[in-house]
Amino acid sequence: MTNRVTSTSTMIKKIAVLRANALGDFIFILPALQALKDTFPGAEIVLLGKPWHQEYLANRPSNVGRVVIVPPYPGVGAAYDYQVDEAELNRFFAEMQSENFDLAFQFHGGGKNSNPFMLRLGAKKVIGLQSPVAPKVDVSVPYVLYFSEPMRYLEMVALAGAKTLDIEPRWESVPQDLEELEAILPDYKDLKIIVLHPGATDMRRRWPAKKFAFVADELIKTGFTIAITGTDFEKQVIKEVWENISQKQQALNLCNRLSLAGMTGLLSVSKLVIANDTGPIHLARALKTPTVGIFWCSNAITGMSFSVMQNRGRDLHQSDSCSNLMKIPQAVRNDRKKFKPRLPAWHLH
């Protein structure tokens, strides 16, 4: 770490934040965005992100004032060996330099590729993560791989004086989320829905499909409707879960049927979400929906919630070396019995 940024809130008019990746990654920076907004209420926060950010955040209250889509850049929203369009990049960086950012935060990995990107923005001060192979920016924070993601970004914004009392990510659904859900599930208000999300981009994070199916059948026996969610990329694992559920009359296959807005609506009204370490589990937690998260060993360090009252994290690995870890089907049954009298907010009855 080199130094801190010293400035008053009235001096900061425009802040850039680089986070051009996936849903869960965005959820992790919400506390840091809240800290920036609390500390610099008059500043515009510009998210340098992906097309999905622009679509999802449009007409939705958030601390992001504007989304600027980042063009493909090696290691920043594109593969490391991506062949760049230099003319396109030059136009983009010229536009960004004209923004006259007072602060720019590099929330996009260890900085080997993203720090050079940030230095081309022309911001007055750049605060960024720095791995041993990354170039320095104005204020550098050592990049430690196994470290809480929300805390990582809160530590960074604190170097600019930004603080917040809310360290957990928080998010809210909006009416259009529920409108989309109702178009797919007209009777959703009459159902006690539990969401299972068996997919994950990283295959190592996927709990076995048959075990998700077992959990589904156990919960169906107690009167819940199971909604299985996922994208087209995850359709094969969802197909396997579906084929192994014996009580399909109380199950819904929603694979590729909901946009992110519709998914937000579904998660917001569900009684419980059981998922691998992927975007929907982190979105559900931000929505204050009870969750059981299944984490692949060390990912629990970076991604698990700080709260134990709302979120039940389970550390699971599929290798023999971790075979002594608690099995989720039994854990779900145990948790349900244990938490019923203690946590009425779960409504698991």
- The CA distance from 255 to 273, in Å, is 15
Model confidence over 47-78: pLDDT tens digits? 999 999 999 999 999 999 999 999 999 999 89
- The CA distance from 45 to 39, in Å, is 12
Checking phi first, is residue 100 left (phi over 0); if not, alpha (psi -120 to 50) or beta? left
Q: Where are the domains of the chain?
A: 9-158, 175-346
- The CA distance from 275 to 340, in Å, is 21
The pLDDT, as a whole number, for residue 315 is 46
The pLDDT, as a whole number, for residue 202 is 85
- State whether the Cα torsion 57-59-65-71 is positive or negative: positive
**Domain 175-346: which CATH number of 3.30.230.10, 3.40.50.2000, 3.40.1690.10, 3.30.565.10:** 3.40.50.2000
- The CA distance from 103 to 118, in Å, is 11
Tokens 């109380």 map to which residue? 250
The pLDDT, as a whole number, for residue 100 is 98
Model confidence over 11-52: pLDDT tens digits? 999 999 999 999 999 999 999 999 999 999 999 999 999 999
Other beta carbons within 10 angstroms of residue 151's beta carbon come to 15
Describe the crossing of helices 209-221 and 328-339 by its angle, rounded to 10 degrees.
30
pTM, full prediction: 0.89
CATH fold, domain 9-158, is: Rossmann fold (3.40.50)
Q: What percent of the chain has pLDDT over 90?
A: 77
H-state helical runs in the chain:
23-28, 30-39, 51-57, 86-99, 114-119, 149-158, 175-184, 209-221, 235-243, 260-269, 279-286, 299-303, 328-339
Domains 9-158 and 175-346 fall in the same CATH topology: yes
Residue 9: is its pLDDT beyond 80?
A: no
Closest by CA position to 29, among listed 145, 173, 204, 164:
164
Region 284-304: mean pLDDT is: 88
